[in-house]
Structure 1
Amino acid sequence: MNYLAHAFLAGPLAADRVGGVVGDFVKGPLLPRPPGIDAALAAGVILHRRIDSFADTHPAFQRSRARISSTRRRVGGIMVDLFYDHFLALHWNALSAEQGLETRLEAYTAETYRLIAAHPAPLPAAFPPVFARMAAQDWLASYREVANVAEALDRMSIYRMRQPNPLGGAGAELLAHYAGFERDFLAFLPDALAFAAEVRATRGDGATPETSADQGRSS
């Protein structure tokens, strides 16, 4: 999942939403906790990682990855993450209303940026420069437009990926199988919401020990 979906799946707690957005910038095990990561934020990052692991094995997400062309298959997970953020933004009014959230996407993303800015613990060193651009340009709401998804993938191919990589131009693949990706997303999201709610309900207080599978995706 990408930033918007992780924020949405994180639920009502501020630290979980912050952990959902910053999770990809926290590398390695969380026990013992690295400097600047308090127990509540660590729990949010663990939730982020468990959602990623759930997505990787979900049949709808796997169908989406299979739609990616063979030349980009190795970065298919990154692409599907962004594509699902697009469909979440596109269907935001209905999906957020079902969860009892603010139905206006821009209000939700503004609140998310405020929560991140107000978080008391230092955040991962690589995150603040990205967050400054994210908030200024409202990346989370911008994913509603296909052109912005394509731009985000191009940006990632330059600044977040080892060179060379096939991610540049990957936005065209969203349009090539648009209806199929949309069906996959709408099948995936209810299961992801139920999974995330179960994790939050059963994890206890603070961060919990991770399995080796929960130590974060690699780009």
Structure 2
Amino acid sequence: TDIDTGNIVALVGPNAAGKSTLLKSIASLIQVQGEINLGDDNLVQLSQENRSKIVGYMPQHQKTDVELTVLEALITALKVSPLDHNDNSEQTKNKAFDVLEQMDLIDIALEPLSNLSGGQRQMASLAQAIVRKPQILLLDEPTSALDLNHQITVMKMIKEYANKGNIVIMVLHDLNLASRWADILVVLNNAKIYSSGKAFAVVTPTMLKEVYQVEARVENCSNGYLQIMVDA
């Protein structure tokens, strides 16, 4: 599947459909056969150091027993390699602070990750993923622990990031959210691609019945977006 720069791709589907596994495969956290290309680069064959310059990955779950502060976690993410001894330079700290300010996380910059709420930890994890400004941003359920206001804030931020010529691929469970913000939806079911394309072509009552086993209507709202109405 070809993905143009500037696009947001949402991987959707029921539980255990293979969404997170596919994301980990793109991040080369799981060995795969075949190629994942960005321009002339086969990401599968790149060293971890070179791949980390291109791909940013936000996992679904972060370790909660890490005693780094939010700032320290971002500085660690900025290290070119584990042997980089310049990770505490002023330039590196400034890059970290820029992202923290952009994401309104300055107030918790010196808080240990273990002290954060679920939503704060998720925002900090997203900050770690984008701090290196990767060309491909992989996000596993980036809004799952966020309230409605922060969901919208994060999705706007993701849209702005894609608009700078980057690619964003994310796992989302909320089909309404995916339909609103993603350029392409990829529906996974039983570890296979069921369908892919624009939301209006992909999100249909037939798909919802066959993939999610629910009876639902798909309404075209006056704002131009879809709204899924599940029949009780």
Larger-Rg structure: 2
More strand by share: 2
TM-score, normalised on structure 2? 0.25
Higher relative contact order (CA 8 A, sep 6+): 1
TM-score, normalised on structure 1? 0.26
More helix by share: 1
